[in-house]
Structure 1
Amino acid sequence: MTDTSTNPNTPAHLQHPRFRSRVVPVIVLNDPQHAVPLAHALLEGGIDVMEITLRSDAALDAIEAVAKAVPEMHLGAGTVTRASDVPRIIDAGARFALSPGCTDALVDAMRATGLPFIPGVMTPGEVMRARDHGFTLMKLFPAQQAGGIAMLKALGAPLPDVRFCPTGGVGPDNLREVLALPNVAMAGGSWLTPADALQAGDWPRITALAREAAAIARGQ
């Protein structure tokens, strides 16, 4: 993706993860055996990043499977909400982390790692607090409840040095408009990996959804 380069002297947890795709699939996996074919399906569709959330008991096994079998996939661990989650995702092989929020304990835990971290925010005060910690890329979550596109536009004026990854309420119907905003670096969503497609192992359907999203992100 563009505009994620950072000063080499920037601490690792403050650096922006670097991948081509501006669309981040937000994934809940209940069967770790689905992880590798899912990663290949997304790559075939032009998406080189995936966020496997810690919302299921299979998450860490799924992260480990992708990390070992599909090294070309930029693999993030999502729903990281406790400092105790951090060593677990590192051991599993995640290359960056995302959270729905931002706590001092979580920031301290991430500071001690070599992983980029995208903290979650919802209000201007939370954005300013995360910026005080040094972050310039944040996850607006839940984006729809926070005000969606109108909120992103409103945040851009007083906080022009912050960029966002809105997640929650982003889909194919509004993806183009979201990504066109100057303060949006990328957008996340679960529509790319529907639960029924995962359960059925319908990888061609997921590839098609990924290809559609990637084309929108390219402005096609």
Structure 2
Amino acid sequence: MEPTAFTTLRERHLISVIRAASADAALAAAKAVAAGGIALIEITFTVPDALRAMKAWTPPPGATMGAGTVLTADQCRAALDAGARFIVAPNFSPEVARVALAAGVMYCPGAYTTTEILTARDAGAHVIKVYPVGVAGGPDYIKIIRDPLPDIPFLAAGGTHLDNTVPFLNAGCVGVGLGAAIADPKLADAGRMNEITQRAKAFVQRLAEARASGVLAKAGA
């Protein structure tokens, strides 16, 4: 059975990545993003005491919390125990893959080359995070790697923003990971949560308008 977070990603397309200088700021930012309508929210292990933020948050209906920058199997287990329902990393780790897949949650490791992508796919990864996609050529890079790999679900991350989200989806990504474009750590650390909520709403609105106008093709097709 497909993990719930993977189904949500196919339908909603956006993951907001939370980084901040404290667990309290990360928790507040996660709540602000959810208030803006983003369904998948990733709290990264770069946040000091990240597990405290994960444990303290019960996402509202329609939102799902995941863990990011998950580099070890121990981190993966701890994140799952803290309530994470999807696992994201900048790299592929066989050990993390085994823990995440055994738990039945979406595993989204980072990869860059076709060899890295296929290694992660063959290990069972549900989605491959192409990272950092901005320096690789953006949507054009996705189009190029999808030529030989048309059936692999990709998540664009690293260099994504409001104006290239729809182009990434139209290039064939199933989703887009968004860091400072929504939950900018500077805003989170300054307590400017309303601005984070408004940024989240802008992304949701942009996708809705693209669907309604026919600009957004079937993502990940």
Does the 8 A contact of 2:86 with 2:107 survive in 1? yes
Match of 1:108? Answer: 98
CA distance in 2, matches of 1:85, 1:71: 26
Match of 1:93? Answer: 83
Match of 1:216? Answer: 206
Structure 2: gaps of 5 or more residues: 211-221
Q: Which piece of structure 1 moves more, 96-105 or 108-117?
A: 108-117
Does the 8 A contact of 2:155 with 2:177 survive in 1? yes
1:139 Cα deviation (Å)? 0.7
1:45 to 27, 36, 40: 36
The runs of at least 4 aligned residues of structure 1 exceeding 6 Å deviation read none
Point out the structure with the larger helix share.
2
Normalization by structure 2: what TM-score? 0.85
Does the 8 A contact of 2:45 with 2:69 survive in 1? yes
Report percent identity of matched pairs. 29
In the alignment, structure 1 residue 184 sits paired with structure 2 residue 184: no
What is the RMSD computed on CA atoms of the aligned residues? 2.2
What secondary structure sits across from 1:18 in the alignment?
helix
Q: Which amino acid aligns with 1:186?
A: G
Query: What are the superposed Cα offsets for residues 152-204 of structure 1, whole Å, 9 maximum, x if unpaired?
Result: 000111111111111100112322211222x2111012110112211221121
Does the 8 A contact of 1:143 with 1:169 survive in 2? yes
Q: Which amino acid aligns with 1:56?
A: V
CA distance in 1, matches of 2:92, 2:142: 18
What secondary structure sits across from 1:112 in the alignment?
helix
Match of 1:34? Answer: 25
What secondary structure sits across from 1:131 in the alignment?
helix
Aligned pair count reads 208
What secondary structure sits across from 1:97 in the alignment?
strand
Q: Summarize the alignment of residues 1-220 of structure 1 with structure 2, pairs less than 5 Å apart.
A: 8=1, 16=6, 18=8, 20-66=11-57, 68=58, 70=60, 72-181=62-171, 183-190=172-179, 191-220=181-210
CA distance in 2, matches of 1:202, 1:38: 9
1:141 Cα deviation (Å)? 0.8
1:144 Cα deviation (Å)? 1.5
Q: 1:132 to 1:47 in 2, by over 3 A?
A: same
Q: 1:44 to 1:70 in 2, by over 3 A?
A: closer
1:133 Cα deviation (Å)? 1.8
What secondary structure sits across from 2:16 in the alignment?
strand
Query: What are the superposed Cα offsets for residues 68-112 of structure 1, whole Å, 9 maximum, x if unpaired?
Result: 364642101000111121111012111110111112222222233
What secondary structure sits across from 2:87 in the alignment?
strand
What secondary structure sits across from 2:199 in the alignment?
helix
Does the 8 A contact of 1:36 with 1:69 survive in 2? no
Q: 1:58 to 1:136 in 2, by over 3 A?
A: closer
Normalization by structure 1: what TM-score? 0.85
Q: 1:35 to 1:200 in 2, by over 3 A?
A: same
1:47 Cα deviation (Å)? 1.0
Structure 1: gaps of 5 or more residues: 1-7
What secondary structure sits across from 1:219 in the alignment?
helix
